[in-house]
Chain A
Amino acid sequence: MLLQIISAFIATAAFSILFYLPKKYIIHSGMTGSLGWFIYLISQEILDDKVLSTLTATLLVALASHILARIYKTPVTMFLIPGVIPFVPGAGMYQIVTGIVEGNVERTSFYFFETLQIAGSIALGIFIIDTFFRRKGKGQDYNCTVIDADTDKLS
């Protein structure tokens, strides 16, 4: 398990270089990645359910990303994208393909629905935390002169 968490750090950090994450945030993205994977492994032990574990881990990764984004005043995607990458169901995709190659319909359909559920739970996790932060953080984000949208008049 320790090996898995260390490789989560290395893999997420290396992966974020492929997406040109700024150098100063690479350590943070690696930490978000290994935190997420740690939570995933723990909840896998307790809940023994891939979909629920993905949801739990995504919730925490999204929360951590939002907090980091508030601290460093950067777009939240800087930390969110590397953080959720380990949960993207690459394994499910592979199993679907091998099922098709072997002509095993049952395996294909099982993994097809599992992949959809995992993708859905990633979406749900990001949705929930985003909504929460959008309501709370509204208006504190920038200090621009903002013209009220209701009084805008077209010339």
Chain B
Amino acid sequence: MNYKALFKTAMLAGEIMAQSGAETYRVEDTMIRILKTSNLASVEIYATTTGIVATLSDPSIEPITGVKRIINRSNNLSRINDVNQISRNICEGIISVEEACVKLEEIRNHKAYSNMVLAIATVVSMGGFVGIFGGTWLDCILAGVNGLFIVIIGRLVDNRIGSAFIIDMLKCFVLAFITMIFAKYITGINRNLIIIGSIMPFVPGIPITNAIRDTLQGDYNSGTARAVEAFVISLGIAVGVGLGIGFFNFVGRMI
């Protein structure tokens, strides 16, 4: 068995999972299961939200150790699902380690949905969340219009500004401001509901869920890190909305 290739595959699987927003215990668990197919005596993985350390050793071989820094993180459930499937296939011996490595590279470069679909999903989800909270049809449609603005802003700034905090803040600022303008000129709409529904796609659902699951698993490092992440995202949303309403109160008399 080629232990170097196995180690590389396990590291790649762990890296993709950690970058896609998987829970830390899942990253460790996946890597351990892949490495244990070697039947070597010692497999140790230490993963955090920002990096992975792994080592594979046995009296019969030179120990292999690797470190991987996780820099870009995003939320991508379909990558987690695909890597999970491949790790199961490796464990059951359905595919070889080399095939798995090729497939993992494919997963890394695969985009599940086109930009058009994502844009439609943004608009629909914003409208839908207003509906959940009991808004009327008009409220839903106006939230959808907010969604259109968010998509346009996303096109303009997403790749230019490095900080997710600033991007979220900017988007929430714009949607709060636009909603206040709607509320001024269109009677009979519920501006609270429209703003609440519109900010829902930004709320930190994945960090919150992962923080809970990591903490339960005993990964207190990752649990607190993700809780802080969730708090920072919420702060960005709150500051954006607050500034948007405040700015409208300031300039609202003129328009």
- 1/0 per position for B234-255, CB-CB distance to A under 8 A? 1001100110011001000000
- Cβ–Cβ contact B36 & A19, under 8 A: no
- State how many angstroms separate the Cβ of A9 from the closest Cβ of chain B: 8
Stretch with Cβ within 8 A of A (4 or more), from B7-15, B45-53, B115-123? B115-123
Determine whether A109 belongs to the interface, using a CB cutoff of 8 Å to chain B: no
List CB contacts (< 8 Å) of B60-91 with chain A.
Answer: 63, 75-82, 84-85, 88, 91
- State how many angstroms separate the Cβ of B157 from the closest Cβ of chain A: 17
- What is the size, in residues, of chain B's interface with A at 8 Å between Cβ atoms? 69
- Cβ–Cβ contact A81 & B91, under 8 A: no
List CB contacts (< 8 Å) of A1-26 with chain B.
Answer: 3-4, 6-8, 10-12, 14-23, 25
Stretch with Cβ within 8 A of A (4 or more), from B98-106, B159-167, B196-204? B196-204
- Cβ–Cβ contact A18 & B122, under 8 A: yes
Measured between beta carbons, the chain B residues less than 8 angstroms from A91 are 133, 196
- Cβ–Cβ contact A15 & B125, under 8 A: yes
The one of A7, A17, A130 in contact with B118, judged by C-beta atoms closer than 8 angstroms, is A17
The A interface is mostly helix, strand or loop, or mixed, namely helix
- Cβ–Cβ contact A88 & B205, under 8 A: yes
- Cβ–Cβ contact B212 & A126, under 8 A: yes
- Cβ–Cβ contact A101 & B242, under 8 A: yes
Determine whether B208 belongs to the interface, using a CB cutoff of 8 Å to chain A: yes
The one of B77, B113, B121, B196 in contact with A94, judged by C-beta atoms closer than 8 angstroms, is B196
Determine whether B188 belongs to the interface, using a CB cutoff of 8 Å to chain A: no
- Cβ–Cβ contact A84 & B91, under 8 A: no
The one of B42, B79, B91, B208 in contact with A144, judged by C-beta atoms closer than 8 angstroms, is B91
Nearest B residue to A91 via CB reads B196
Measured between beta carbons, the chain B residues less than 8 angstroms from A119 are 208
Extra contacts besides A6-B131, A11-B200 (18): CB < 8 Å: A3-B131, A4-B132, A8-B131, A10-B127, A15-B200, A20-B79, A22-B81, A74-B84, A75-B80, A81-B209, A88-B203, A90-B200, A97-B242, A98-B192, A126-B216, A142-B91, A152-B41, A155-B58
